[in-house]
């Protein structure tokens, strides 16, 4: 049985989180590279979890759009290219 993430969690690859699309929960991950890019855009030196929370709406919206478009990757990995 797989654990359902209720809160974002830090992993070696980035921040793992869940989004819901059409009543189905999907596992996602925003990569460390993407978080570093967002950090540079923000201009502040904060940790990755703070960066995730600061950009959570944008991260979740991109995830939902990709899932709606049919991307089947599990977990869905968001790299820096999605935020350029």
Q: Kind and range of the H or E element at 25?
A: strand 24-31
- Residue 45 and residue 52: Cα distance in Å, rounded? 13
pLDDT by residue for the chain (84 residues), tens digit each?
344 456 899 999 999 999 999 999 999 999 999 999 999 987 777 899 999 999 999 999 999 999 999 999 999 999 999 999
pLDDT for the residue 59: 97
pLDDT for the residue 38: 94
pLDDT for the residue 5: 56
Q: Kind and range of the H or E element at 49?
A: helix 48-54
């Amino acid at each position: 049985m797989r654990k359902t993430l209720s809160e974002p969690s830090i992993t070696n690859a980035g921040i793992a989180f869940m989004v819901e699309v059409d009543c189905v929960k999907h596992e996602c991950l925003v990569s460390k590279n993407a978080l570093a890019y967002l950090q540079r855009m923000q201009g502040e030196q904060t940790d990755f979890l703070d960066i995730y929370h600061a950009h959570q709406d944008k991260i979740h919206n991109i995830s939902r759009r990709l899932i709606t478009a049919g991307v089947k990757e599990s977990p869905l990995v968001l790299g820096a290219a999605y935020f350029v």
